[in-house]
Amino acid sequence: MLMERDQSALLAVDIQERLLPHIHEGQAVLDHAVWLVRVAQKLGVPVMVTEQYPKGIGPTVAVLRGLTFPENVVEKLHFSCVAANCLDRLPGSERPQVVVAGTESHVCVLQTVLGLLGQGKQVFVVAEAVGSRRPSDKALALERMRANGAEIVSREMVAFEWLKQAGSDEFREVSREFLR
């Protein structure tokens, strides 16, 4: 199945100040997540952001927080965003497709993805935009998510599927800004 921009929402799970420095290749995970948020915003795809216990792990990293509206960010204590029932309050939660970025792949991302799949959502996990402290945990999480029905994709797959075709002003603008 293809990702459709009018059917998709982007979910950034727990990309937080005190956790990110411990994530393997954390800066790259953040850079890819920011790229996805900017593309989503350019194309009118709603962006949802979660924070796992921000009093302990800190808020969403500043660069990502600066790109999103405060009403698009929710706090949670459950590892799974679905179990926390926090996504229902966010714009885009009603959409059938969820594109997922975030940390940690084997904890909050995994449990959220499995929960979304359980709700019948089509879930696309952006491989380079998720991370864990240990690469082996990320690899196992991606394998498990795939085995349970999630599509593992790249950020460019997301952008090109949301765009659908070349030749438009919109494609040229996105290509110039994001696809060089």
From the candidates 76, 81, 86, 138, give the one annotated as an active-site residue. Answer: 76
Give tens-digit pLDDT for 1-19.
Answer: 999 999 999 999 999 999 9
The reply to whether 137 belongs to the active site is: no
Structural domain includes residue 15? yes
**What distance in Å separates the CA atoms of residue 5 and residue 158, rounded to the nearest whole number?**
9
Torsion of CA 88, 93, 96, 102, to 10 degrees: -110
pLDDT for residue 157:
97
Structural domain includes residue 150? yes
The reply to whether 76 belongs to the active site is: yes
From the candidates 14, 81, 86, 138, give the one annotated as an active-site residue. Answer: 14
Domain hosting residue 85, numbered range: 8-178
Q: Is the pLDDT score of 180 beyond 80?
A: no
**What distance in Å separates the CA atoms of residue 10 and residue 70, rounded to the nearest whole number?**
15
Domain count, the chain: 1
Is the distance from CB of 13 to CB of 57 less than 8 angstroms? no
From the candidates 86, 108, 121, 138, give the one annotated as an active-site residue. Answer: 108
Provide the mean pLDDT of the chain.
95
CATH number at residue 19: 3.40.50.850
Structural domain includes residue 2? no
Structural domain includes residue 47? yes
Q: What pTM was estimated for this model as a whole?
A: 0.96
